[in-house]
Amino acid sequence: MVGGVDLVVLTFIICSIPQLTLISPVNATDTLTTTQLITYNQTLISSNQTFKLGFFTPTNSDNTRWYLGIWFNKIPVQTIVWVANRDHPLHSSSSGALKINNNGHLILINQTNDVIIWSSNSSSSIDNPIAQLLETGNLIIKSKTEETEQPSSSSSSSSSRFIWQSFDHPTDTTLNGMRIGWDFKTGFAWKLQSWKNLGDPSMGDFVYEMDPHGFPELVLRNGSMKLFRPGPWNGIQFSGTPELKNNSIFEPVFVSNDEEVYFAAKTNDNSVMTRLVLDPSGYIYRYTWNARSLQWVLMINVLKDQCNKYGLCGVHGVCNIDEAILCKCLKGFEPKSPEDWSGINWSGGCRRRTSLNCSNGVGDDGFVKFSSLKVPDTTFCWVNKSMGLGECQMKCLMNFSCMAYANSDIRGSGSGCVLWFGDLIDIREFTAGGGQDLYVRMAASELDVVNGGGTNKKEKLVALIASTSVVVAVLLAALTIWCFVKRTKMRRKEEENIILMEGSASKGESDLELPLFDFVTVATATNNFSHDNVIGEGGFGPVYKGKLSSGQEIAVKRLSKNSGQGVSEFKNEIVLIAKLQHRNLVRLLGCCIQREEMILIYEYMPNESLDYFIFGSFSSSSFFSSLIHECSFYKLHNRISLQVSLARMPFMFLDQARSKLLGWQKRFDIIVGIAQGLLYLHRDSILRIIHRDLKVSNVLLDREMNPKISDFGLARIYGGDDKEVNTRRVVGT
């Protein structure tokens, strides 16, 4: 069960097993000697009692699997930070025993059958070995004659005093000073691998490791598939993850040389308990313990937004979480498939508007500077840390395969050179700090039209003259154009509406990517919009119940002509709404744009709205409407006094009969459903939406009483990182 143990070590371990009967159990201490062992009811505790080593069973397991691990000792929430036998559990709490043999090898055996479950498999041996649990949470093996030191997490740097340490073999968690990286001399890698699930610490699907190729950077993978990378270290921070820079809690350390490359985070205050964990779902969190609230507080969520998803915008695409539409092409590039991009599918990426010219070797190409970017994937980059930016530019220009260049270190005036070859992928743009400059190769003809221009003085002069000419021409023609537009605005609007209405009927689903209903079909389904079929009155028009010829029941929202929306805006909005799919949002089935009509067809909710069960047929909105009509106003001594009839006040109480249909569990389920729908709108959807009109009458219930949010008439798009929104863009109907 122990792979890679050489024959000599394995023979010694097996021969030492019978001696366990002569070994005494360990008492509460931080040290394990060759004459002691640890069983299920014994532990090692670090000198200041911060960490504990012993046997445990996961909180969410069935108590049939036991593991040797290390966890925080002083906090009430059991938080495992290291597991020895993660893939080989013991099946009885009393069967395991841990000891250290005379050569300095830790071994964990199953006492019921003397089978070796796990071994430290140290590559060397020492005299008078002991195992010690340090205050850092690191379990080390050293000679008893050596003084206790806090080793680094590099096996090579501590080999003179420590022959093995748990920090070299992390599971899913890093503590203060632990490394993620590579030791090039030994070929040893420090990496995190998630638990399979919360109740099973065996190796899961996700790995967080250092990619040493090209310009080294951290990568989160699921198998061979990249899921996330924080960007390369630029001397100050990871170019794509500004929140991981130096702060009051911890100091990031990044080392890259011929012998090793690694990242570590060291706390500025040793009393602060913090950890970085790769959870079973593939998310990376940094927590800090709050002694006052007695809970782990989330400090950093590395995968907090969609722009952190690897390659979301495809090659040469740029993601900006502050924009309503996340992805755009680099300037000088255009979508490979405009149809896919209009459908919010950006994976195909972008291509150059103008091909590069290499007919004369170097060509007439130049470079355009892009600022505040998470630079592209650096796996296949070329790096020279001693080269300046000017020399770096010439190096890239002389190689026609070079597509971009940047500094490897942005401290001060910048230093070092990184060259990219081939497609540029996984780029992100920051609007509020973060990122660095990237210089992208462009054809000479593009340098005049792309903001930032090229590096040729003649080209800059031509661009300046052209821009000035355009401005003058615009100023001279402004008055004439304004008058013409003023006079023909209404006529063009009418023509546009006619074209759109006729075009929508002919193009069908290929245009809107949504089923289009014929007006006659909708009218037939609603009995010619009979008043008897009215089931509600929204802010933009009435809602009718209908039934298609197929037997499917539908809800038909007929926008009134004074709703304030034109056909173009209406058509644009339903394209966006069609992209919002969630079990707690009312599903849009189709639309109708004919005969100056703008109609939306939704799935029908047989249990009506939530206020029907809370207030009955008399809703809160109708109460206040009628209340206003019964108010009398008097003006006395320049003051307004309001006299209110209290005749209808009893109706404000809940409808007791219908309220009984909603038990507490069902009420809780409805609340959770509404919250999940809002969470999808606010955070998880590609288009971030603020509803702005959420009330019980806008929460509909299906046959199983599942809640579905409706009526997006006042909704607004906003950027992914915005905390407040002030926009005139109205989405929904």
Minimal CA–CA distance to 542: which of 597, 500, 583? Answer: 597
Collapsing DSSP states into helix, strand and coil, what is residue 233?
Answer: strand
């206790």: which residue's tokens?
148
Q: Which residue has the tokens 């009458």?
A: 697
> What single string gives the DSSP state of each residue in 703-724?
TT--EEE---TTEEE--TT-SS
Single-letter residue type at 729: R
Distance, C-alpha 430 to centroid of its chain: 15
Q: Residue 704 to residues 545, 585, 658: CA-CA distances in angstroms?
A: 19, 15, 16
Amino acid making up residue 118: W
| Backbone φ, ψ for residue 298 (5° rounding) | -70, 120
Q: Which amino acids are annotated catalytic?
A: 693
Structure tokens at 126: 């020492």
Q: Which residues contact 57 (CB under 8 A, 6 or more apart)?
A: 63, 64, 65, 66, 67, 93
Cα–Cα–Cα angle for 287, 290, 295, nearest 5°?
75
Inter-residue contact 329 to 316 (CB < 8 Å): yes
Strand locations in 559-631 (E): 588-594, 597-603
Pick from 118, 15, 140: nearest CA to 7: 15
Is-contact 203 196, C-beta < 8 A? yes
| Pairing mode of beta strands 317-319, 427-429 | parallel
Query: Using CB atoms within 10 A of its CB, is residue 113 exposed (0-12), middle (13-18) or buried (19+)?
Result: exposed
**Burial of 441 (C-beta count, 10 Å sphere; 0-12/13-18/19+):** buried
